[in-house]
A and B are shown apart, each in its own frame.
Chain A
Amino acid sequence: MQRIGDAPALRRLLIGSAVILAALFLLLPLVAIFSQAFAKGLGTFMVNITDTYTLSAIGLTLFITVLTIPVNLVFGVMLAWLVTRFTFPGRRLLQTLIDIPFAISPVVAGLVYLLLYGRNGWIGSWLDTHDIQLMFAWPGILMVTIFVTCPFVARELIPLMQAQGSRDEEAAVTLGASGFTLFRRVTLPNIRWALLYGVILTNARAVGEFGAVSVVSGAIRGQTNTLPLHVELLYQDYNTVGAFACAALLALIALLTLAAKAGLEWRTARRESVS
């Protein structure tokens, strides 16, 4: 007896092509990044990484990420709670709106923010008269980063909270729990893994965002230059090794994120198999 679709020749062909394509398109570039970064030895790599401008770019990227995550965490939980626990007119529309940052090109997002908050923009001109500058400064970078990452947490939570329903919360209320106690002791433990997963994805995107940030940052070295923008600047300066050193750093962060994600998935699968 042979199962449907289990022809040995077809299986070998499919596995073979999957492996080759994965190696060619996914693994090879990764290897290239690290080999280029260390092409002139560890010393040169370290010199490039510890360059003042590079350090400031790393600092800015981490600063933006650290601010983005809590904002999206609170926003995502609130949004997911709203959409899954209440019925109100426009609920479906709101669920669609959450996906706008996924659907729209980041460059377009950057341009829109520039249009709105730039010196001649609709809101920007008013801000300018009050001496507040958002664009070409870190607040602008933060704003577009929040924009492009804002669906991640909510998107992770909504299906889970929909599946879990509000029975647990109702049970907690009948037992006398107040709103905050209920959230802390019942809701949060139920969603914590999905929440962490959303944070990991947010983190990955916040660190690596290029398109939207490049429009609003102005890429001033040492001031508004994030790590991905710095990679491009170095490359345009013909400092290939420097560019790849920074790229390797970004790739490393990405790999760590992937490892964390895989770890979480493994953990979740194990918990489910227990229950």
Chain B
Amino acid sequence: MSIRIENIQKHFGRSRALSPIDLDIRDGELIGLLGPSGSGKTTLLRILAGLENADPHPSARIHFGERDVTRVHVRDRRIGFVFQHYALFRHMTVADNVAFGLTVMPRKSRPSSAEIRSRVYQLLEMVQLAHLADRYPAQLSGGQQQRVALARALALRPDVLLLDEPFGALDAKVRQELRRWLRHLHDELNFTSVFVTHDQEEALELSDRVVVMSEGRIEQIDTPEALYRAPANRFVFEFLGDVNTLEGDVRNGVLTCGDARLNAELPQGPQTLLMRPHELTLGHAPTSDAHLPVTVTAVVPVGADLRVELSADWLPAPWLVSARHSDVAELSPQRGQRLYARPLQWHRFDADGQRLDAPEELRLSA
């Protein structure tokens, strides 16, 4: 079921939680709302669910498919909602939790208790927890509780599944597993899902499209790949990953900053270049186009990559370079070692944070 949001805004007292927002979500999409805390992403999700009212405005509308749900009560919106801390009913068994939505249906439309039982069993099979049907929530691990919460939310076959920081309270490995499993479930059952997260990795891994938010505004809506490759503005760029900053003065095609020099065909005057950790390389000697002397302050292996932390007098904040082990084997960086950095490409944004141009690539001259 597609979702169309038009001109939705929200104030809490005098503070603005959401600027007027428009958003179209296609049928069957898995959408991630990504942003720092206070960006309005949870407020937007709760307004979608009907747990919060948007500010009244004649043109404020929420459509689920053809159905206008702007003024429809939560209980009639046909949504499934998964809470950050699961919100399982602690005095009910796992099976009773999953059955809750079915047992509170009006007597006329309620399935028979045998039907409810078999439906609950199906759902528990689906989340691989059928063997724990008679346990209480407190006897389950966090990951298991979250799967029960999902089964409960899906019991009424909702049009739309909404998830508020669904994996936020779980440890890294369980989070990974559940993410993959949710993606799988989404593709199999083909409902439309919107989830909130502050974890950029989670948003990029799980979503068909990511909505990046800050301060109640939508900064960018794009596929994870496009978002990472071409962030629309500085906020998105900085929020989606580690950033190295080089600030200097450009004169006649050379940027200088203390001891550091870099050949760059840029307009005269002060310039700020931003680079991802993988957009920098390291070497024993300066090259003809880059003279950026740095000192290694830490070397941390992270999976297949090596993260090297660098500092220099001319750097206000340390740099981070990530490289594959094999690529730096010859260099074997050690703490305290003097090396030279060299950007492969950089990003520039104007004073308002808007992107200035496509990533510029330094031509490697042998």
Contacts and interface: CB of A to CB of B under 8 A. Distances in A.
Given A173-B74, A174-B49, A176-B75, A181 B87 contact: no
B105 interface: yes
A170 B101 contact: no
B75 A190 contact: no
Contacts of B139: 275
Contacts of B153: 174-175
Contact of B79 (A167, A174, A186, A190): A174
Contact of B51 (A170, A176, A177): A170
Contact of A171 (B83, B105, B156): B83
Contact of B87 (A168, A176, A189, A275): A168
A28 interface: no
Interface in B20-75: 49, 51, 74-75
A190 B91 contact: yes
Nearest to A172: B100
Given A176-B156, A177-B75, A178-B75, A171 B104 contact: no
Interface in A237-275: 274-275
B89 A176 contact: no
Contacts of A186: 89
A185 interface: yes
A275 B90 contact: yes
A167 B87 contact: yes
Nearest to A169: B87
B83 A175 contact: no
Interface in B87-140: 87-91, 100-101, 104-105, 136, 138-139
B15 to A, nearest CB: 14
B178 to A, nearest CB: 19
Which of A168, A175, A275 is the most central at the interface, judged by chain B CB atoms within 10 Å of its CB? Answer: A175
Given A176-B105, A177-B104, A275-B138, A168 B51 contact: no
Going nearest first, the 9 A-B pairs with the smallest beta carbon separation are A275-B138, A175-B101, A167-B87, A171-B87, A174-B81, A189-B91, A177-B104, A176-B75, A173-B74
B132 to A, nearest CB: 15
8 contacts: A172-B100, A172-B104, A173-B74, A173-B75, A174-B51, A185-B100, A189-B91, A275-B136
Interface in A170-198: 170-178, 181, 185-186, 189-190
Contacts of A175: 75, 100-101, 104, 152-153, 155-156
Given A173-B74, A174-B74, A176-B156, A168 B104 contact: no
Interface string B132-166: 00001011000000000000110110000000000
Given A171-B83, A171-B88, 9 more contacts: A168-B89, A171-B81, A171-B152, A174-B49, A176-B105, A185-B100, A185-B104, A186-B89, A189-B91
A176 to B, nearest CB: 5
B342 to A, nearest CB: 52
B85 interface: yes
Given A189-B91, A274-B138, A275-B138, A178 B104 contact: yes
Count class of interface residues, chain B? 20 to 34
A170 B100 contact: no
Contacts of A170: 51, 81, 83, 87
B362 to A, nearest CB: 52
Interface in B167-201: none
B231 interface: no
A157 to B, nearest CB: 16
Contacts of A171: 81, 83, 87-89, 152
B104 A174 contact: no
Interface in A145-167: 167
A167 B100 CA distance: 15
B90 A174 contact: no
B80 interface: yes
A172 B105 CA distance: 12
B192 to A, nearest CB: 16
Q: Which of A172, A176, A185, A189 has the most CB of B within 10 A?
A: A176
A190 B137 CA distance: 14
Nearest to A164: B90
Contacts of A177: 75, 100, 104
A105 to B, nearest CB: 40
Contacts of B136: 275
Contacts of B155: 175
Contacts of B74: 173-174
Of A171, A177, A186, most B-chain CB atoms within 10 Å? A171
Contacts of B101: 175-176
B91 A174 contact: no
B42 to A, nearest CB: 13
Contact of B104 (A167, A176, A190, A275): A176
Contacts of B85: 167
A175 B79 CA distance: 8
A176 B87 CA distance: 15
Contacts of B80: 174
